[in-house]
Amino acid sequence: MTTPTVRQPPDPLVVSETCLPRRIHMLLTPKWTSMVIYVLSFGPLRTGQLQRSMPGISKKMLTQTLRELEGDQLVARKVRQVVPPAVEYSLTGLGQKFVEPLLALYDWAEANATLLDTVERNRAASGRAISPRNEE
């Protein structure tokens, strides 16, 4: 087994409210935010298509997440003038900038699935298992 690399912390080591690590976590902390960005990275989708692509998300949670991402200007909402009107969502240029680091994280997860399995077993053993149906 390899020895982990020890990084030298800044002096002083303070993770302030405005530091970059906390800012990115604040943006991606809502559970479904990164999933919506990931799914929309494949192209524009209507609300129903988005919901079917992410089993477990409620319509209310999807709507709330899309509104937040639209407010952050990461997602664009386009109303198509058809009967009945169709609403389509897509990533903006700014939203596209968040896809690459998410894919790097998802690639890591795929390469380290056994580590994730171990953590899930540890959580279950400690009584902190997360039910996929109750994650909202």
Q: Which tens digit of pLDDT belongs to each residue from 8-51?
A: 887 788 888 888 888 888 888 888 999 999 999 999 999 999 99
The amino acid at residue 86 is A
Tens of pLDDT, residue by residue over 84-125, are 889 999 999 999 999 999 999 999 999 999 999 999 999 999
pTM: 0.80
CB 51 within 8 A of CB 62: yes
Q: 3-state DSSP call for residue 92?
A: coil
The whole-angstrom separation of Cα 47 and Cα 89 is 7
Q: Which domains does the chain have, with CATH numbers?
A: 20-134 (1.10.10.10)
